[in-house]
Amino acid sequence: MSLVLDDVLPLLPRLRRHARLLCGDSARADDLLQDTLERAARKGALFHAEPGPERMDAMRNWLLTLMHRLYLNQRRDAREALHDSLDDEDTPQPLVHEPQQQVALRLDLERALAALPAASREILLLVCVEELSYQDAAQVLDVPVGTVMSRLSRARERLRQSMSGAAPARPPLRVVK
């Protein structure tokens, strides 16, 4: 069975949120989402899943995989062209109705996420925000499950250190005789 527009529509908010968290601003996120959907429309015949409850999960994972690959291609192209610029207006603006402490915490979290390496940020987004299982995240990233687990552990530690303002913990030195 191939890709159907009715199957994709319920996934759009999650896909857009993931794209925005990857890219850091809504304009680039919308471009990434559009590119992902264009590729999905062109390659829809390659998507095969039996009707049933697992179909939506399979489609979500397939679309996230497409988005991941397009994101990596865009980053590589930007690096090669030396056009990767960060503008102050690219920083997502907090909602006005949030209490001041929540706004400050959200901005701190966004800054901490933006400071993480791309691989760390992406694994956190897939597992913690998109709530993918380790196996699904491994499939999206095309890496072994153990790699997902170790990257996630390191990413969580980096985020924890960044949010607490602590310097990275150094492993204790061992005396070897």
Helix (H, G, I), strand (E, B) or coil at 2: coil
Q: What is the residue whose two structure tokens read 């030396």? A: 82
Strands annotated E in 71-170: none
> CATH 3.40.50.1370: does it fit domain 95-166?
no
As given in the structure block, the two tokens for residue 82 are 């030396």
Q: What is the residue whose two structure tokens read 């471009």? A: 31
**Model's pTM, two decimal places?**
0.58
- 45-84 pLDDT, tens per residue? 888 777 777 888 888 889 999 998 898 888 777 766 543 3
* Domain regions of the chain by residue span: 1-84, 95-166
Q: Which helix (H) or strand (E) holds 7?
A: helix 5-8
Q: Which of 89, 167, 80, 159 is nearest to 125 (CA)?
A: 159
d(CA 125, CA 139): 15
Of the chain, the percentage scoring pLDDT greater than 90 comes to 23
Annotation: CATH topology of 1-84: Rna Polymerase Sigma Factor; Chain: A (1.10.1740)
